[in-house]
């Protein structure tokens, strides 16, 4: 085999890849530059990611806040050498504060994950239904809430899925009605 020919073919292939990459970048930049304002917002995947990020942030904040109210599992009982419960634990305040922050972060991540999942799934399904039906009304929220509830409760069996479908569907319609959509 001619090694000169193989080297030329390899160089041509590299040049072709560079040209293709430059063309793709140019087309992408051109596409984004000529997009209508708000066109990106009409993409269901984009709205789903936005909802998941916003829901995750809100869920994290709520979880961190509510962990200080309800969950006290990070507070340990401390016993003295005689086996009696100490009234005031002899633990440095910064250790207690650090334990509280760790518990808040753990609770925030847990709740944030749930809010992100719900927001992303509901938003994508609602967007897809709205595009398919070509109208924006309370039925979109009902259908999207029911489908989202069923999907998120799929591990619990058909009864749980039906109850979740009805509950989240009704909640979605109520929220849309109250917000005037």
More confident residue, 165 or 22: 165
Q: What is the pLDDT of residue 66?
A: 87
| Across 2-26, average pLDDT | 68
51-56: Cβ within 8 A, 24+ apart: 51/119, 51/120, 51/122, 51/123, 51/124, 52/116, 52/117, 52/119, 52/120, 52/123, 53/116, 54/119, 55/112, 55/115, 55/116, 55/117, 55/118, 55/119, 55/120, 56/112, 56/113, 56/115, 56/116, 56/119
The pLDDT value recorded for residue 100 is 82
Backbone angles phi, psi at 74, to 5 degrees: -80, -15
Q: Which of 37, 52, 175 is nearest to 123 (CA)?
A: 52
Q: How far, in Å, CA of 128 to CA of 147, rounded?
A: 12
**pLDDT tens track for 48-84:** 999 999 999 999 999 988 887 765 655 556 666 676 7
Identify which has the larger pLDDT, 44 or 93.
44
- pLDDT value of position 139: 93
Confidence tier at 4 by pLDDT (50, 70, 90): low
pLDDT at 67: 83
Judge contact between 123 and 50, C-beta under 8 A.
yes
Neighbours of 104 (CB within 10 A): 19
Say what the pLDDT of residue 141 is: 93
Q: Where are the alpha helices (DSSP H) in the chain?
A: 3-33, 44-69, 93-133, 138-152, 158-178
Q: How much is the pLDDT for 111?
A: 94
Confidence at residue 18, expressed as pLDDT on a 0 to 100 scale = 75
Q: How confident is the model at residue 136, as a pLDDT? A: 87
Nearest 5°: phi and psi at 79? -110, 145
The pLDDT tens digits for 97-116 are: 888 888 889 989 999 999 99
Write out pLDDT tens, residues 132-180: 998 888 999 999 999 999 999 999 999 999 999 999 999 999 999 998 8
């Amino acid at each position: 085999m001619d090694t000169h020919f193989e080297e030329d073919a390899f160089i041509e292939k590299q040049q072709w890849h560079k040209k293709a990459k430059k063309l793709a970048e140019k087309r992408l930049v051109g596409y984004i530059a000529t997009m209508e304002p708000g066109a990106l917002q009409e993409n269901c995947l984009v709205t789903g990611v936005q909802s998941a990020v916003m829901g995750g942030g809100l869920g994290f904040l709520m979880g961190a806040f509510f962990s200080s109210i309800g969950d006290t599992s990070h507070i340990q009982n401390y016993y003295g050498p005689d086996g009696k419960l100490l009234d005031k634990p002899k633990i440095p305040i910064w250790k207690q504060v650090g334990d509280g922050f760790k518990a808040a972060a753990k609770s925030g991540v847990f709740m944030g994950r749930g809010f992100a999942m719900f927001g992303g799934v509901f938003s994508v399904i609602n967007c897809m239904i709205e595009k398919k039906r070509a109208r924006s009304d309370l039925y979109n929220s009902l259908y999207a809430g029911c489908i989202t509830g069923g999907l998120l409760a799929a591990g619990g069996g058909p009864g749980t899925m039906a109850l979740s479908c009805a509950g989240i569907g009704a909640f979605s319609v109520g929220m849309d009605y109250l917000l005037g959509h």
